[in-house]
Structure 1
Amino acid sequence: MRPSFRFLQWCQSRPGGTALLFVLTTGTLVGYYGWLALVAPPPPTYYLDFGAAPWIQASEPSNNVCFRKNLYLSETPKYAWLQMAGIDGFRVSVNGKQATLGQAAQPGLESEVLSLTSGGNESVICDITHHLLQGTNTIAVNVTRGSFPGRAKLVCRGGVIDQSGKLSEFSSDKSWRVALTPGTIPTLIPWTDREMDAARWAHAEVAPSERAGLTQPVTLPPVLLQQPVKGKWIIDERPGPARNTTFQRHFDAPNGNTEAWLQIAANGNFSVIFNGHFLGDFTDSSPTIHFLYLKRWMKAWGNDLSIQVQGLDALPTLIAEVSFLSGGAEAGSIVSDHDWVLPSSRLATTIGSYNYAGEHWGLPPKMASPAGLPSVEATRRTIAGVPLMLIVAAAVFLGWIWSGSLLAKRHKWEMARALGIDATLHLPALVATATLLLLRYDIRLRPDSPVKVEFFLGLVGVLILPRLLAWASRKEPAPFLFSAWERWRGWASQNGFWLALGVIVLAALAMRLHGLTTFPLDQDDILIRNYTMGIFDRGYPSLNFYNRAMALTTYELVPYPIALSCLIFGWSDWAFLLPSAVFGALTTLLLGVMGRNLFDWRTGLLAALIHAFDPLNVFWAQHLFHPSQDGFFAILTIWFFYLAIRQPGKLDRKYFSAVCVCFCLTYLSWEGQGFLLPVLAVTLMLMYPGRWSWLREPRLWIGLIVVASIVLIQLSLRKMVAPGYIFLGYGLNLLTPSLYFLNPESDPFYYVSSVLLTEPHVLLTILCIAGALFVWHNLAMRYCLLVFVGLLLCFSLFLPVYSIRYFYFYQTLLILTACGAFFLLWDRARELTLEWKVARLLAWGSGIAAFLLVLGTATETGFKVFRLSEQTLQGSTRIDPSLRYGAVRQDTRSPAEFVASRLRPGDIVLANLTQAFYLYGRRMPDYALNTLLAARMIYLDDYQSYRHKFVGIPNVRNLRDMQSVFDHARRIWYLGGGPVIEGPSELKNATDFITERAKIVYSTYHAKVYLWDGTAFPEQHTIANPALPPQPGMPPEKPTPEDRVVEELNWAQNGKPLSYPRVTRSNLYPEWTHQKVSERDPARVNAKLKVQPLELPREPEKPESDEKASQ
């Protein structure tokens, strides 16, 4: 007689817990998918049809291009529309006014344009009727590409309907004009203005279609925006005492078609109620047509639409149309007319046009996005969706119990064995559901296409079909198919691991060396480069700052491997960046070995493979800054600490000494790694609760004394190296841990939303959470999870600055923990199917599919789930260049070379990219922007001015300083686009003062060059700002002392070549930047896009000390 089966006791066992996990996870995911498909389907999206319109571009490669198209209209149009797609972001204006565009095309700042969905072509369709005038009209588009490599491209199609109803279409073609820079002064005439003559701009050229199939859909049916609303204005001539009334319409759906949209506008506040469902309140200062999607509540017969309107300054009026769609085309409509019913069974009055606020309103403008779901209806969906999800999960659970009992009876198995095997039959549905949910965020698909009722029914079928196969099988076949794999698995774990890991490491190194110098060094890289040069002069990382050697007091060890690389390979950007690439590849090797040591060879190989091709790791391995080197020593410290505490209550002497050494190395690479000390201490206490014998270990206290001494010495040097009363304000290098989570401005979930739930890491995060189930049964999993969570909490709660690079060095723990959890679940599923071929085959297939899913999302191979990225306030996707391949980085070289090759005596250079201009332009800029006094700067009495903290040039602190610079300059070059410390309003006032008076003469990735030429205008005089109290202007500086020594000039005195490249290209941009007095119309020279200058550019001026050195 078989013993009685105790279900709850079995669920507490290892096989039972695993089986229950598979079933409940599958039921929850399928239930959630049913919620989306049946109760709360995503709103529909639509692809735009551009017909035969070609993509267009400029003849010269550029990531930022200005497009213009002139349209002549003999009369004011009745209706006009415009649809457009561009790579990657764009701004559209019609006759100098920003068009009413969708969220994707209104990014606001240029930094937001460059952080849109790289990898997808943003598109928009909008109503431009009220922007067009009789006569010449101008459509101006600025396309900014944020992905690399490639050009800025555009495709466009539009239509104009005249008063007689005739449609005239236009599209992108060679008649469009293009320029790489606008060539106008905004305060005089914007380049988007229709009065500007662009006849001499170059013609666009037809471009090959790029990234076909990646054009993003729009959220409104194009057919509704390509024609005017057909309803008429209706009015209630006898409204209520508050000018309020209700317009009602009862109708049937034509031919039972429920795919319907409502277009509606009124002259006041109004609310919409459809079939008893409240769809929202709307308040407009002027009538605007809103779109509401009605399919969810539409019935084939007996629909009731009720609109409550309150007129603001006149009788309540309304215009509406209910459009029924079929296959993207309009199949019928219900329009506002005299059939609409008012209170007391009165009929509405129809008017041909409506006089509102003294203006003639025939057809109000249309919104470019649908109205959102009101909170009442969203709550109703939630109330209906949660029970549905629970019902589906319960049905899956009960089906598991019932199916398991049938298997046990049919094959005469024990109940535990039958339930375990039946649980593995849920894995295909689990993986299929996860894939469908993930595909919602793939930019190659519409967000609504993976969520359909048919797919939900298919998932139910996937749950049933494996059971039919199991029930139909009459006898139990031997699992011969997998015996060979088990034998090969043993050989692979012994011999093939190192071969496979070597291939992965070589691929990682090649991945990091590929395109290593495609982009120039950024500001942080150049800072490390300058400190590295001090090693060859003074033997330690330092700068010569006004005849004082300023030692590097943070990232102290970072310059030494760089100096070794330069000693071997010479002075070049490639040599400077090589150590970071090598440390990145070594981290891949280390992670593979660590994964094998903590878990098994499969975990090591998968972790190394993900790390090798993860975008975040590749990005920082191509930078000179600290993360790559710091991350290597950090993961080495964490690994050695695990080896030191493997035995409960004891510390391994050899490994603990290695921990102390490695911690000092990682701390001196970046002092933020001080968080490792408390995290490792807490981890040690939680690893072996109640076992405190390690406190009696003498080596523990000796190591702590050494480590504490290193930390205290480093912190003391940070305070002692800088001379007193020179540095003012604060900087990142002065930040210390604090209870920042008590600050209302803190964001404790920054790393969750910006990193953990983004496309490379979302599945790794889910697997890491699943790893918590193995915490008390697997020592390595417990250790990795505790250290990772501890570091995540420390950097989220106690550090007053958030940055993705601070997540980089413990991201390896996320990868390792996720891979370990994946193979632990794999082994648990394999154990449940050891004696049944069908179940094991399904489990293997599901495991391989899950493996490819994890690898594909983490490395952007096969999946482009970019919609998982953080969203901007406008609803567009914000990306960080470190989290995605193909996203551009800032170009610091070409703006500096462009300006340096065109400088004349007396020119003033104002730069945000100060160090980059000095490196690549071979000349120090004259001024830097710093409009926040609390930001770190210096005040030198010798010069009686505020100076830049790194290069020592004067700071422009406010609008008054900017005006003073204009008073003393003939020509001013402004290099904008770099990071600027912002004050409350001073920055905008100061930058606007020059950007609105200067021309953009050069544009590249995240940088622009402005030129203000005072030689072409009368002398400018400073106008006092009434918003500021009267104060004296910027005092003239004292002459530069002759004994001032600049760091790079020592190389010339030592007879060694300068590391700065000479600028040899004299035709980087249009010729008018070389002219001496009057400038010709840039439109004419832009027509060629590449013109030889009128005169050869002069060589950049050498500093005085450089000339003396060359004599």
Structure 2
Amino acid sequence: MRPSFRFLQWYQSGPGGTALLLVLTTGALLGYYGSLSLVAPPAPTYHLDFGGAPWIQASAPSNNVCFRKNFYLSEKPKYAWLQMAGIDAFRLSVNGKQATVGENESENESTILSLTAGGNQSVICDITRSLLPGKNTIAVNVTRGNFPGRSKLVCRGGVIDQSGKLSEFSSDNSWRVALTPGTIPALMSWTDREMDDASWAHAEVAPAERTGLTQPVTLPPILLQQPVKGKWIVDERPGPAGNTTFQRRFDAPHGITDAWLQIAANGNYSVIFNGHFLGEFTDSSPIIRFLHLKRWVKAWGNDLSIQTRALNGLPTLIAEVSFLSGGAEAASIGSNHKWTLPSSRFATTIGSYNYAGDHWGFPPKTSVPVELPSVEATHQSILGILFMVLVAAAVFLIWMRSASFLARRNGWEMAQSLGIDATLHLPALIAAATLLLLRYDIRFRPESPVRAEFFLGLVALLILPRLLVWARRKKPALSPFSTWEGWRGWASQNGFWLALGVIVLGSLAMRLHNLTTFSLDQDDILIRNYAMGIFDRGYPSLNFYNHVIRITTYELVPYPIALSCFIFGWSDWAVLLPAVVFGTLTTLLLGVIGRNLFDWRTGLLAALIHAFDPLNVFWAQHCFHPSQDQFFTILTIWLFYLAIRQAGKLDPKYFYAACFCFCLTYLSWEGSGYLLPALAVTLLAMYPGRWSWLRERHLWMGLIVVGSIVLIQLSLRATVVPLYLFLGYGMTSLTPSLYFLNPESWPSFYLSNVLLTQPHLLLTILCAAGALFAWQNLAVRYCFLVFLGLLLCFSLLLPVYSIRYFYFYQTLLILTACAVFFIVWDRIHELTSGWRTARFLAWGSGIAALLLVLGTATQTGLKVFRLSPQTSQGRVRIDPNERYDVVRQDTRAPAEFVASRLRSGDIVLANLTQAFYLYGRRMPDYALNTLLAARMIFLDEYAAYRHKFVGIPMVLNLRDMQSVFGQGRRIWYIGGGLVFEGPDELKNAIDFVTERAKIVYSSAHARVYLWDGTGTLAQQTIVNPALPPQPALLPEKPAPEDRVTEVSN
């Protein structure tokens, strides 16, 4: 007998491949977790302690609040620090200057400390350099734009005077607050310490909110709450190039849990610790940087070397090695005369003075730690990979040895022993996957689930199940699991429809919940206006200034909306109802398809995930095309599968039904036309070499019909309104192309922004696993190929990326992943061969895995929001498509606010043009289009280009904006937030408004500015448009109903 040959034959079978996959996956996850906990541990983070400081807010509800705190100092402080947390996002400045200093921080005061991964943002920083003798002002603008609720903050700070006395301050009702930022008559920013805020209201103490989601900081707070203890040291006899090496040898104190180096120098310097290169730095002026040393600290004989080359004068250095224990400082080693230099010389101490300009003293501290240099990071990566390979190999060898022992002990066949022993890896596999996912859960610190003791626990999970199996000599009788087989038969026949009905009702309830909480957005209003054209002209169309425009895309979307409004009347609820219905029907359809293609379990799980996936709930509450298009897409894909499931033959009944549904899909959104090449390639790949279906007349008849519909639609699109009449960029002008050849393309967009984010990560892994070992399953192969084809088409051939372009075929990802999950479940069930202990472990692990998949996909158990793509500052973007409870842009309230305060002769300039027409019941006078991002149409009546959908004039550049303001009348501007970056034409035009107009209303992602034409521009110009209120400008008429007051929603 030749075991190697027999093993090779066995693992190529279905049970053997499943067993090998379990073992290798467990080894890979265990090895990766071990490399994180032992070889390359993640950087530590720390929670801030605010003591008894309360959260504060404005007395009136607002999502945009300015906070100011004034305090007085008799002299320049020796050191000062500030720590703060705010819900959502905030800007922080001290005496008008940005408070934080760091490599990843912009020096622009307007930089937003944005929300980290869905929790409360927090920061701690050194503010010594910003404080002055006399009055000092801390200014914070908290903007809660992503999550509903009121703007709040909590703060704690401390000032150490020259004598070393510490005075602390915190957030309380002595802080001043102002709603909705406005302008100031003088040329002065609201953050300036000279501004008089005596008219501002006092803050009120607020209840704590989302405290468990306050994000940690990346530096130990204790080190930023005190000045560096080292002294400036100098080498008075450096080398010929002004370079020298400062060195310090030391032993680590007993019982430390962390170690950091604080360091600054007057030139270029590099740090080497115990033979590890930790970075090279160049500072034009000294800045104290933080380097983490813990991973390389030894109990004794530590060697720290800092090679320095001065830019001017002699090389100087200030440093401190801090040892922490439980967050408190246990010991420290500061730079002093004991530090050595080349030739066994000792450094000279300069002394310690207040840092100002070129004088020696305490440099400012950064707010972020130094990242690991590429050399050391590469070294750790290589060690981590080697460790993973060793662990995976060890797991594989242990599996082989353990199975051999079971076979000899119990007289089993080797194949049976290998299968049973493979299932014993499941507890460790699920536990390792859970711990790795918890790293991205915003309720935990990123490094807290990664510990050496947890790794030992995972190793124990590999051993303990084996001990249970080894302890049993005889094969026990079948367990009560056998009764499950009978129940499963009943459930598959009767319980499926009952369970699916409950899921569908839950899906409907989720989509109806808070349906009209948010107003219609621009796309929703556009479709609504087209639906109104059905009643006026018999087809979807718009009419403005006696000019009718037919709909040339989304042709079928307005009809269900028109039917709903015909029955229930014109309201936001009636407009959104068809999307709710289509979203709910998709849940039902997915359950039926899952049962038809696979089994009842797949159908129920797929329906459950679709019902509560935040992405699906989001689009089912929009009347735009995605919800309707998703329903017809999955119906088309299912019918096409039923038509081709027999190799070489087409079932005409299902094929014609698929062609009909494709036409409905295409007329809902022509981008779904990529279904044609995807289905064609899938058909070729499903049955390679068996092309007899090409001779079927039904194929060509169906293609003629489908092709005719596509050509007619494209022709109408080109002829209804000729393209030469349009100017500007629009989505309707997009055509398929080899966009992946363009250097600006982003082929991995859907991978990084959708597939590897919270709702879809585990589904993506399961889908990829299905391509590896479930390829023989015809339905899995079909779903995977269609999904992959569509993903490649939208990633490579369409010159624009959007999550909604992934949404219409997202159901394929859900369906394939659920099918693969239960295929693996069944194969593992076969491997247990009726052995009670192994079957019990398999069942328990399977249920845990099921809960893990549901928890991530539906955002009910895990909040792994750190999986989202990060900005260059390491902060996570929030996409409302993939999160519950994220606010959307408010278009209703700003329009109603302006409409209720309009006077005769007022000018309305709007970005939200259609929203203002719907909710303000008046057409705006101008629309902003500086980027030509909205297409304009040439109208003969005006011999000019006008807005495509509402026919009003467009402000294209700064000159046009100046012309509007030159009319000397009151001007309202309705738009989004401020623009800090972007093309000059956009920024200049927006700045022209925001620097002259006063913010009089603020809501979610929307602001209203007012310029009163009775005042001069010079009197209303300010440096920073962002903030607080001033006494109201005199109205043109004294009537109180005309007076505009600042209001915030």
TM range (shorter): over 0.9
What is the CA-CA distance between 1:971 and the residue it aligns to? Answer: 2.1
* Closer/same/farther in 2, CA of residues 652 and 114 from structure 1, 3 Å limit: farther
What is the CA-CA distance between 1:906 and the residue it aligns to? Answer: 2.6
Please name the residue that 1:437 is paired with. Answer: 436
Please name the residue that 1:48 is paired with. Answer: 48
Correspondences of 1:130-149 after superposition (within 5 Å):
130-149=129-148
Q: Is the 8 A contact 2:180 2:1029 kept in 1?
A: no
Q: For 1:325-371, what per-residue CA distance to the aligned partner results, in whole angstroms no more than 9, with x for missing partners? A: 01111111100111111122221111124799953341100010110
* Closer/same/farther in 2, CA of residues 250 and 2 from structure 1, 3 Å limit: closer
What is the CA-CA distance between 1:183 and the residue it aligns to? Answer: 2.8
Q: Is the 8 A contact 2:182 2:1030 kept in 1?
A: no
Q: Is the 8 A contact 1:115 1:146 kept in 2?
A: no
Q: For 1:81-134, what per-residue CA distance to the aligned partner results, in whole angstroms no more than 9, with x for missing partners? A: 00011111111011111111679998989997776533x111111101101111
Residue 58 of structure 2 is aligned to residue 58 of structure 1: yes
Please name the residue that 1:71 is paired with. Answer: 71
Instruction: Look up the equivalent residue of 2:98 and give its one-letter code.
Output: Q
* Closer/same/farther in 2, CA of residues 496 and 335 from structure 1, 3 Å limit: same
Instruction: Look up the equivalent residue of 1:198 and give its one-letter code.
Output: D
Please name the residue that 2:726 is paired with. Answer: 727
Residue 28 of structure 2 is aligned to residue 28 of structure 1: yes
CA distance in 2, matches of 1:108, 1:1078: 40
CA distance in 1, matches of 2:41, 2:1020: 62
Q: For 1:686-734, what per-residue CA distance to the aligned partner results, in whole angstroms no more than 9, with x for missing partners? A: 1111111101110110110010010001001111111564311331011
What is the CA-CA distance between 1:925 and the residue it aligns to? Answer: 1.6
Structure 2 unaligned spans of 5+: 1022-1027, 1045-1049
Q: For 1:651-697, what per-residue CA distance to the aligned partner results, in whole angstroms no more than 9, with x for missing partners? A: 11110110111000000000001100011011011111111110111
CA distance in 2, matches of 1:291, 1:123: 18
Residue 88 of structure 2 is aligned to residue 88 of structure 1: yes
Q: Is the 8 A contact 1:23 1:396 kept in 2?
A: yes
CA distance in 2, matches of 1:997, 1:627: 40
* Closer/same/farther in 2, CA of residues 221 and 253 from structure 1, 3 Å limit: same
Q: Is the 8 A contact 1:185 1:997 kept in 2?
A: no
Q: Is the 8 A contact 2:129 2:364 kept in 1?
A: yes
Instruction: Look up the equivalent residue of 1:337 and give its one-letter code.
Output: N
Please name the residue that 1:763 is paired with. Answer: 762
Please identify, of 1-10 and 712-721, the stretch whose mean Cα deviation from structure 2 is larger.
1-10
What is the CA-CA distance between 1:480 and the residue it aligns to? Answer: 2.9
Q: Is the 8 A contact 1:34 1:456 kept in 2?
A: yes
What is the CA-CA distance between 1:5 and the residue it aligns to? Answer: 7.8
CA distance in 1, matches of 2:353, 2:239: 20
CA distance in 2, matches of 1:810, 1:635: 7
Please name the residue that 1:214 is paired with. Answer: 213
Correspondences of 1:310-389 after superposition (within 5 Å):
310-353=309-352, 359-389=358-388
Residue 507 of structure 2 is aligned to residue 515 of structure 1: no
* Structure 1 stretches of 4+ moved >4 Å: 1-5, 101-116, 353-358, 978-983, 1018-1022, 1069-1075
* Closer/same/farther in 2, CA of residues 114 and 305 from structure 1, 3 Å limit: closer
Instruction: Look up the equivalent residue of 1:1015 and give its one-letter code.
Output: T
For residue 1040 of structure 2, the aligned residue among 1087, 1090, 1094 is 1094
Instruction: Look up the equivalent residue of 2:996 and give its one-letter code.
Output: R
CA distance in 2, matches of 1:953, 1:103: 46
Q: For 1:952-1005, what per-residue CA distance to the aligned partner results, in whole angstroms no more than 9, with x for missing partners? A: 221111111111222113322221217999973111111111112222221111
Please name the residue that 1:1083 is paired with. Answer: none
Structure 1 unaligned spans of 5+: 1023-1068, 1080-1092, 1099-1111
CA distance in 2, matches of 1:776, 1:254: 58
* Closer/same/farther in 2, CA of residues 893 and 70 from structure 1, 3 Å limit: same
Please identify, of 557-566 and 949-958, the stretch whose mean Cα deviation from structure 2 is larger.
949-958
- Secondary structure in 1 aligned to 2:542? strand
* Closer/same/farther in 2, CA of residues 727 and 621 from structure 1, 3 Å limit: same
What is the CA-CA distance between 1:386 and the residue it aligns to? Answer: 1.2
CA distance in 2, matches of 1:899, 1:793: 46
What is the CA-CA distance between 1:398 and the residue it aligns to? Answer: 0.4
Q: Is the 8 A contact 2:521 2:915 kept in 1?
A: yes
Please name the residue that 1:411 is paired with. Answer: 410
Greater RCO, CA 8 A, separation 6+? 2
Please name the residue that 1:874 is paired with. Answer: 873
Correspondences of 1:1071-1086 after superposition (within 5 Å):
1075-1076=1034-1035
Please identify, of 960-969 and 547-556, the stretch whose mean Cα deviation from structure 2 is larger.
960-969
Correspondences of 1:888-1037 after superposition (within 5 Å):
888-933=887-932, 936-940=935-939, 942-977=941-976, 984-1017=983-1016
Please name the residue that 1:125 is paired with. Answer: 124
* Closer/same/farther in 2, CA of residues 258 and 596 from structure 1, 3 Å limit: closer
CA distance in 2, matches of 1:938, 1:822: 52
What is the CA-CA distance between 1:1017 and the residue it aligns to? Answer: 2.9
Instruction: Look up the equivalent residue of 2:174 and give its one-letter code.
Output: S
Please name the residue that 1:800 is paired with. Answer: 799
Please name the residue that 2:289 is paired with. Answer: 290
Instruction: Look up the equivalent residue of 1:850 and give its one-letter code.
Output: A
- Secondary structure in 2 aligned to 1:470? helix
CA distance in 2, matches of 1:104, 1:72: 31
Q: Is the 8 A contact 2:105 2:873 kept in 1?
A: no
* Closer/same/farther in 2, CA of residues 725 and 645 from structure 1, 3 Å limit: closer
- Secondary structure in 2 aligned to 1:213? helix
Instruction: Look up the equivalent residue of 2:819 and give its one-letter code.
Output: G
Q: Is the 8 A contact 2:173 2:203 kept in 1?
A: yes
CA distance in 1, matches of 2:102, 2:884: 26
Instruction: Look up the equivalent residue of 1:828 and give its one-letter code.
Output: R
Q: For 1:1071-1090, what per-residue CA distance to the aligned partner results, in whole angstroms no more than 9, with x for missing partners? A: 966841599xxxxxxxxxxx
Q: Is the 8 A contact 1:730 1:934 kept in 2?
A: yes
CA distance in 2, matches of 1:327, 1:9: 55
Please name the residue that 1:160 is paired with. Answer: 159
User: What's the TM-score, normalizing by structure 1?
Assistant: 0.91
What is the CA-CA distance between 1:79 and the residue it aligns to? Answer: 0.6
What is the CA-CA distance between 1:523 and the residue it aligns to? Answer: 0.5
Please name the residue that 2:15 is paired with. Answer: 15
Correspondences of 1:172-251 after superposition (within 5 Å):
172-185=171-184, 188-251=187-250
% same residue: 78
- Secondary structure in 1 aligned to 2:1040? coil
Please name the residue that 1:541 is paired with. Answer: 540
What is the CA-CA distance between 1:945 and the residue it aligns to? Answer: 4.2
Please name the residue that 1:742 is paired with. Answer: 741
Q: Is the 8 A contact 1:185 1:996 kept in 2?
A: no
Instruction: Look up the equivalent residue of 2:395 and give its one-letter code.
Output: V
* Closer/same/farther in 2, CA of residues 621 and 102 from structure 1, 3 Å limit: farther
What is the CA-CA distance between 1:12 and the residue it aligns to? Answer: 1.0
* Closer/same/farther in 2, CA of residues 544 and 723 from structure 1, 3 Å limit: farther
Q: Is the 8 A contact 1:187 1:997 kept in 2?
A: no
CA distance in 2, matches of 1:853, 1:494: 27
* Closer/same/farther in 2, CA of residues 87 and 344 from structure 1, 3 Å limit: same
Instruction: Look up the equivalent residue of 1:1076 and give its one-letter code.
Output: P
CA distance in 2, matches of 1:84, 1:540: 57
CA distance in 2, matches of 1:4, 1:752: 39
Please name the residue that 1:6 is paired with. Answer: 6
* Closer/same/farther in 2, CA of residues 181 and 74 from structure 1, 3 Å limit: same
- Secondary structure in 1 aligned to 2:497? helix
What is the CA-CA distance between 1:205 and the residue it aligns to? Answer: 1.0
Please name the residue that 2:494 is paired with. Answer: 495
Please name the residue that 2:273 is paired with. Answer: 274
- Secondary structure in 2 aligned to 1:1016? coil
What is the CA-CA distance between 1:951 and the residue it aligns to? Answer: 1.3
Q: Is the 8 A contact 2:229 2:334 kept in 1?
A: yes
Instruction: Look up the equivalent residue of 1:219 and give its one-letter code.
Output: T
Please name the residue that 2:715 is paired with. Answer: 716
- Secondary structure in 2 aligned to 1:188? coil
Q: For 1:1017-1043, what per-residue CA distance to the aligned partner results, in whole angstroms no more than 9, with x for missing partners? A: 378999xxxxxxxxxxxxxxxxxxxxx
Q: Is the 8 A contact 1:634 1:809 kept in 2?
A: yes
Instruction: Look up the equivalent residue of 2:1013 and give its one-letter code.
Output: G
* Closer/same/farther in 2, CA of residues 952 and 983 from structure 1, 3 Å limit: farther
User: What's the TM-score, normalizing by structure 2?
Assistant: 0.96
* Closer/same/farther in 2, CA of residues 79 and 663 from structure 1, 3 Å limit: same
Please name the residue that 2:98 is paired with. Answer: 98
Correspondences of 1:541-580 after superposition (within 5 Å):
541-580=540-579
